[in-house]
Structure 1
Amino acid sequence: MNTSSTLAIDLPSGWETAADRALAIDGVIMILGGPDRGKSTFCRYLLGRARAESRPAAFIDGDLGQSHLGPPATLGLNFYPPRPPDDSGLFPDVLYFIGQTSPPGRMMELVVGLRHLADIARRRGQYRIIVNTSGFIGGPAAHRLKLAKAESLTPRLVIGLQQEQELASILAPLQRFRPEAVLTLPVSAQAQPKPFQQRRLYRQERFAAYFQTARLRHFPLEHLAWLGFPFGQGRLLPAASQQWLGQILNHTPVLRAEEVAQGFIVLVDRRLTESDLAATEAELGQKKIYWAQWRQLEYRLVGLLDRHLLTLALGLLPPSPWNHQFLGIVTPLPADRLSQVKFCRLGKMRLSPDGQELFGANTRFAPADGPVGA
């Protein structure tokens, strides 16, 4: 099998030698590079070589926005074999939900998710693990993230695809401790910058294809634990206490309320004003009010997780009246697997049913990234 012709690329200098070295390793091979530097192409080349040489491998796609495994806003894990090297399916062997398409704001979850998938690969007997990363390389936050990934994954080999010396500040700490474990490679001449609109369209098409077969499913709230705001952080208040809280919130209907150490988390049907909060917190003493408006959560992307916190599927919260017994979620998860859902993780994105990202002036819903009243 001629892998280079299969991928229709002219291999830059050093790629074949780097692949020889990578495929001789039982351990993590981490691929770094900025946007449009050919990281995914190099990963497919490695997987093609591995297949041609009968070397089993696992591949983790850590690029949230331009992912080739699974829908955007997730991490994906595939095993080769049985998957073909060019597999770019929406339903990988294992999925890990992050909930947004860029690392800032979810960097801790990203590092945890990558380590979680690598551990799964090892438990399933695969120790040659190729990890692709995002093109987020500029600035202190990106440097911290890449070094945290390296510390968590403990790669046997780090391969950086760079133009000029754009990865120098990220690779320098790694080279200082293990210079033999870091390689730099030139970028393929076929790697071309993609404009912002093309990147957004790619995400939209991936989301639309993922939700193409989705149906509205109803999950009993009493059996569903929430990870992240607005639910599942405290003790659910009885109906009488919710009514009392609504009265002191300027007669605001409270749909759901939980008591936490710092105060109360409430779900309401209108936007609370600063005067509402000030008056309520004055009456409550030191207690704080953390709140969200139910309609702000419409079209929010969520992850449906099993008891091991593995992602079974993604879902969307559709526009609907609040129901204190059931939560409606649009998801492609088959009916015979609904009982496996034990947790719901709230993402930071909103999507229309056709995969368009809703934010700013493009949606009638105000942003709600976390406790709005915090």
Structure 2
Amino acid sequence: MIVGPCDVGKSTVCRILLNYAVRMSRRPIFVDLDVGQGQISIPGTIGALMIERPAAIDEGFSQEAPLVYHFGHKNPSSNSTLFSMLVQQLANTVKERLEANKRTRSSGVIINTCGWIKGAGYKQLINSAKSFEVDVIMVLDQERLYNELVRDMPNFVKVIFLPKSGGVVERSKSVRSEARDQRIREYFYGSLKNSLYPHSFDIKFSELKIYKIGAPALPDSCLPLGMKADDHLTKLVLLTPNAGILHHVLAVSFSEKDDDDIILSHVAGFVCVTNIDTERQTLTLLSPQPKPLPNNILILSELQFMDSH
């Protein structure tokens, strides 16, 4: 697991290690827990990908059949209860894949994390390390974090300190935000070298179920008996399509059922709401593939994409 503050080169170290592994004929699994930038899928998700060949300089790793879970925020602190649940779910699924594939099991897993390392973010790192049962943690650029992990991790976990590379550049908020938009744009339209042609179609409100994860908090006095105060963070709320979801990204769930299974199911892909017609009761969706959608259960993301094509 690679950890450290923002902009110290964690993603680059992951890429270098994965490239080395592939060149040694290994088939490692890359796990990305950085919801802010999203290397495996779009921002607002966590995921895993089996790496079979080195990353191309401009395109990154080949994105065939990634395993993606929808979180829907660009910072784990927006809903750390949900984030922990998804990390555990992803860890369980990755373990199953390792059990099933001998070559991958011997190649191991390389985990990228986000730059949130203080307070609840530090707890989240410890939690992720336990979920994935990591045995090596590389700490970039921050000795305090290194010392805390040496203190708090079990003895069998090797914690290594690495100074950041001289070529690392700090990015401003606006640059990060632009990078997020660019990731979403590439999801629909591809890159200069590899253009994609998404589809746009109308779909009736009645043909979809749109959910949001997380309801407004209730004061303790209003909670049903036995319900914990943070249970609302992982509550499914069915939405009536409205102007508030315009330009939002929606995840297409693989879930078969209308229950909590939706929260922990991985997703088939993403669509973006480009128009809402309340009179005709239709949504216009931008989608990587034509109608019909693989499933009618969609989950709202806080991430937005203004389609300027």
Q: Do these two structures clear the TM 0.5 threshold for a shared fold by scoring above it?
A: yes
The aligned residue for residue 85 of structure 2 is 112
Q: Does the aligned pair in 2 maintain the 1:316–1:351 contact within 8 Å?
A: yes
- How far apart are the structure 2 equivalents of 1:96 and 1:315? 15
Q: Does the aligned pair in 1 maintain the 2:45–2:68 contact within 8 Å?
A: yes
The aligned residue for residue 186 of structure 2 is 209
Write the letter of the residue equivalent to 1:96. Answer: Y
From 296, 321, 333, the counterpart of 2:277: 321
Equivalent positions of 1:176-255 (< 5 A) are 177-178=154-155, 180-212=157-189, 213-219=197-203, 224-228=208-212
The aligned residue for residue 290 of structure 2 is 335
The aligned residue for residue 279 of structure 1 is none
Q: Does the aligned pair in 1 maintain the 2:272–2:287 contact within 8 Å?
A: yes
Q: Does the aligned pair in 2 maintain the 1:33–1:135 contact within 8 Å?
A: yes
From 266, 270, 273, the counterpart of 1:310: 266
The two structures, once aligned, show a CA RMSD in angstroms of 3.2
The aligned residue for residue 148 of structure 1 is 127
- How far apart are the structure 1 equivalents of 2:175 and 2:167? 17
For this pair of structures, how many residues does the alignment match? 264
- How far apart are the structure 1 equivalents of 2:25 and 2:135? 21
Q: Does the aligned pair in 2 maintain the 1:306–1:342 contact within 8 Å?
A: no
Work out which structure has the larger RCO, using CA pairs closer than 8 Å and 6 or more positions apart in sequence: 2
Percent identity reads 21
| SS of equivalent residue, structure 1 residue 320 | strand
Q: Does the aligned pair in 2 maintain the 1:90–1:206 contact within 8 Å?
A: no
Deviations along 1:98-146, whole A, 9 cap, x unmatched?
Answer: 21221112323333333333433333323311110011113x2212221
Q: Does the aligned pair in 1 maintain the 2:33–2:112 contact within 8 Å?
A: yes
Unaligned runs of 5+ in 1: 1-29, 232-260, 263-289, 356-374
| SS of equivalent residue, structure 1 residue 135 | coil
Write the letter of the residue equivalent to 2:8. Answer: R
- How far apart are the structure 2 equivalents of 1:114 and 1:229? 16
Larger Rg: 1
Q: CA deviation at 1:203?
A: 1.4
From 41, 51, 54, the counterpart of 1:84: 54
The aligned residue for residue 305 of structure 2 is 351
Q: CA deviation at 1:339?
A: 4.8
Equivalent positions of 1:129-168 (< 5 A) are 129-138=109-118, 140-168=119-147
Equivalent positions of 1:227-306 (< 5 A) are 227-228=211-212, 294-306=242-254
Write the letter of the residue equivalent to 1:115. Answer: Q
Write the letter of the residue equivalent to 1:100. Answer: H
Q: CA deviation at 1:306?
A: 1.3
CA 1:150–1:301 in 2, change beyond 3 Å: closer, same or farther? same
Matched, 1:93 2:41: no
| SS of equivalent residue, structure 2 residue 276 | coil
Matched, 1:103 2:73: no
- How far apart are the structure 1 equivalents of 2:24 and 2:214? 50
Deviations along 1:168-218, whole A, 9 cap, x unmatched?
Answer: 3355311xx225432222222222212222222211221122222332344
CA 1:150–1:229 in 2, change beyond 3 Å: closer, same or farther? closer
| SS of equivalent residue, structure 2 residue 47 | strand
Query: TM-score by structure 1 length?
Result: 0.62
| SS of equivalent residue, structure 2 residue 7 | coil
- How far apart are the structure 2 equivalents of 1:324 and 1:112? 38
| SS of equivalent residue, structure 1 residue 307 | coil
- How far apart are the structure 2 equivalents of 1:227 and 1:152? 27
| SS of equivalent residue, structure 2 residue 85 | helix
- How far apart are the structure 2 equivalents of 1:105 and 1:230? 10
Q: Does the aligned pair in 2 maintain the 1:299–1:352 contact within 8 Å?
A: yes
CA 1:42–1:229 in 2, change beyond 3 Å: closer, same or farther? closer
Q: CA deviation at 1:165?
A: 2.2
Write the letter of the residue equivalent to 2:111. Answer: V
Write the letter of the residue equivalent to 1:109. Answer: L
Q: CA deviation at 1:90?
A: 6.5
The aligned residue for residue 246 of structure 1 is none
- How far apart are the structure 1 equivalents of 2:160 and 2:117? 17
Q: Does the aligned pair in 2 maintain the 1:143–1:170 contact within 8 Å?
A: no
Q: CA deviation at 1:75?
A: 1.9
Q: Does the aligned pair in 1 maintain the 2:276–2:283 contact within 8 Å?
A: no
Query: TM-score by structure 2 length?
Result: 0.73
CA 1:345–1:293 in 2, change beyond 3 Å: closer, same or farther? closer
Q: Does the aligned pair in 2 maintain the 1:208–1:354 contact within 8 Å?
A: no
Unaligned runs of 5+ in 2: 190-196, 216-222, 225-237, 257-264
